[in-house]
Amino acid sequence: MDRALTSAAGQAGDDLSWLPAWRIRDLVAAREISPVEVTEHCIARIEALEPEFHAFRMTDHAAARAQAMEAEQSILRGDEPGPMHGVPVCLKEHIPVAGLHWHDLKTYEKTVTTRDGIEAERLRRAGAVIMGVTVAGLTASEFGDSDRQPLNAWNRGRICGDSSSGSACAVAAGLTPVSVAIDGLGSTRLPASYSGLVGLLPTRGRVPTLTWNEFSSQLLAASGPLARDVRDAALLFSVLAGPDPRDFNALPDAAPDVLGRLDDGVDGMRLLWTDDFGYAAPYAFEESGEVIATVRTAAEGLRGAGAVIEPMGKAFDDPTRWCNAALASDRAMFSYTRLPDETIIRAREVRGEVAGALDTLLRDADFIISPTSQHIAPTLGEWHGYWAQTVDGKPSGHMATYTALTGFMNLIGWPALSIPAGLVRGMPVGLQIIGKPNSEPCMLRLAQAFSRLTDIGRPPGL
């Protein structure tokens, strides 16, 4: 390729690790940087840092190099570049990527798959370079080796959270600019909050998937972007979203345009603020007051951008009481496990109650905003404690402690987003934005305006 491209990459140096995906694509399209050089840079960084961070379950450098070479040849031929042409990406290991490890959520078997899921198909068509699949970090028992838990780029003594933690680790550490994550009860948004990233749970069915062999998980989870940059999150969403008849849950209409008005601001937007939805105080830890105050102060900055912010009253009762029942009933409906009719009926009623309460609150408002989590990223030991029945005598367990402010959005299938809102004790905390179905264009516009008010910088030492 043109040697000017080599010069541009060389001048970028380590900054190439932190270039947003949209900027990489534009430089590639303008022939100012080579997809091959970008990919080699990411390979070198992964080889240097992966032994410390444990972000990836499997990489395939040979396949990535072949994809990058094809992206370069396409530019040289004068082909129209794709929306993510030459951009390195990774995907959570629950998403099938041909030739890479796949973690089947139904059988929990880990195999190398021969087919792409819809998300990988769409990334390839967009010109992206797939670097590998990331660890779905849960508890030590899931691995039999606690050392494989992805570590937090902001503090290697802490972790990135649940499930999409490897994806969050990869993006926060500058191994790839973006990743495709999966949000089950907050497992994109919560690692985003813990890692200083933007994480989006799309409207149910907006991003089609062939990830699971059972429909139950698709009723609660959705693939979506993890990124360091709001525009990158919008770009990746635009690539992933849209109908596909192979997914029974996929919405049939075209995906909305989330890029066209991204920079239009929030003048006149009405927002409702809540510290903890009126029920989450029992699940707070020692740092929670500081976390809530930091996020609230950051959110207040939106007033200066023209938004109206009002306090929100209590919307509904503590969701952790019924969350397990709702999950169990969804699985029962599609795996033919018999549950009492009353359990299934109650789960559906609660889902309706939550959606009705939020619909009422948003009748005269655009979005609800809150902390994404009351906590900073935990140490590995603290994380294992989250899965216990109690922590310091307080109600705990995975649902109560970790997903108290996020999980109900998965139950009703509405979109939500987490964006960095500041640092507490040197660790990132997130602002959560909750909206009605198909509100992603306006939600990302709000996030873009907020990102201009709050810059937490990069993880130290990277």
* pLDDT for res 343: 73
Place of tokens 């004790």: 425
Determine the Cα–Cα distance for residues 87 and 35; give it in Å rounded to an integer. Answer: 7
| From 285-299, 322-336, 445-459, the region with the lowest mean pLDDT | 322-336
| From 6-15, 95-104, 191-200, 315-324, the region with the lowest mean pLDDT | 6-15
| From 69-73, 212-216, 255-259, 301-305, the region with the lowest mean pLDDT | 212-216
Query: pLDDT digits over 25-38, tens only?
Result: 999 999 999 999 99
Determine the Cα–Cα distance for residues 335 and 349; give it in Å rounded to an integer. Answer: 21
Q: Strands (DSSP E) along 52-190, which ranges?
A: 56-59, 88-92, 101-103, 110-112, 129-134, 151-152, 155-159, 178-183
Place of tokens 């596909």: 244
pLDDT above 80 for 279: yes
Query: pLDDT digits over 387-418, tens only?
Result: 665 555 554 456 667 888 998 898 889 999 99
Alpha helices in 241-364 (DSSP H): 288-300, 323-335, 341-361
Closest residue by Cα to residue 55 from 161, 125, 150? 150
pTM passes above 0.85: yes
* pLDDT for res 157: 93
Pairing of β 308-311 and β 270-273: parallel
DSSP letter at 401 equals I
Q: Tell me the CATH class for 270-414+427-451.
A: alpha beta
CB of 440 closer than 8 Å to CB of 206: yes
* pLDDT for res 320: 61
Determine the Cα–Cα distance for residues 358 and 303; give it in Å rounded to an integer. Answer: 23
pLDDT band, residue 133 (cuts 50/70/90)? very high
Mean pLDDT of 421-425: 98
* pLDDT for res 329: 55
Query: pLDDT digits over 335-365, tens only?
Result: 545 667 777 777 778 888 889 999 999 999 9
CB of 43 closer than 8 Å to CB of 69: no
b/e burial code for range 304-335 (CB count within 10 A of at least 16 → b): eeebebeebeebbebbbebbebbbbbbbbbbe
What kind of fold does domain 3-240 have according to CATH? Amidase signature (AS) enzymes (3.90.1300)
Backbone angles phi, psi at 164, to 5 degrees: -85, 25
b/e burial code for range 245-273 (CB count within 10 A of at least 16 → b): eebeebbeeebbebeeebeebbeebebbb
* For the chain, domain boundaries: 3-240, 270-414+427-451
Query: pLDDT digits over 45-101, tens only?
Result: 999 999 999 999 999 999 999 999 999 999 999 999 999 999 999 999 989 999 998
Mean pLDDT of 92-113: 80
pLDDT band, residue 193 (cuts 50/70/90)? very high
pLDDT above 90 for 104: no
| From 54-68, 116-130, 233-247, 304-318, the region with the lowest mean pLDDT | 304-318
pLDDT above 80 for 294: yes
Closest residue by Cα to residue 163 from 381, 324, 333, 387? 387
Place of tokens 């797939």: 130
* % of the chain with per-residue pLDDT over 70: 84
pLDDT band, residue 11 (cuts 50/70/90)? very low
pLDDT band, residue 3 (cuts 50/70/90)? very low
One-letter amino acid at 248 equals F
* pLDDT for res 313: 86
pLDDT band, residue 330 (cuts 50/70/90)? low
Count of beta carbons in the 10 Å neighbourhood of residue 382: 16
Mean pLDDT of the chain: 88
CA angle 285, 289, 291 (to 5 degrees): 90
* pLDDT for res 281: 87
Count of beta carbons in the 10 Å neighbourhood of residue 365: 18
Domain pair 3-240 / 270-414+427-451, same fold:
yes
Alpha helices in 362-434 (DSSP H): 380-386, 397, 407-412
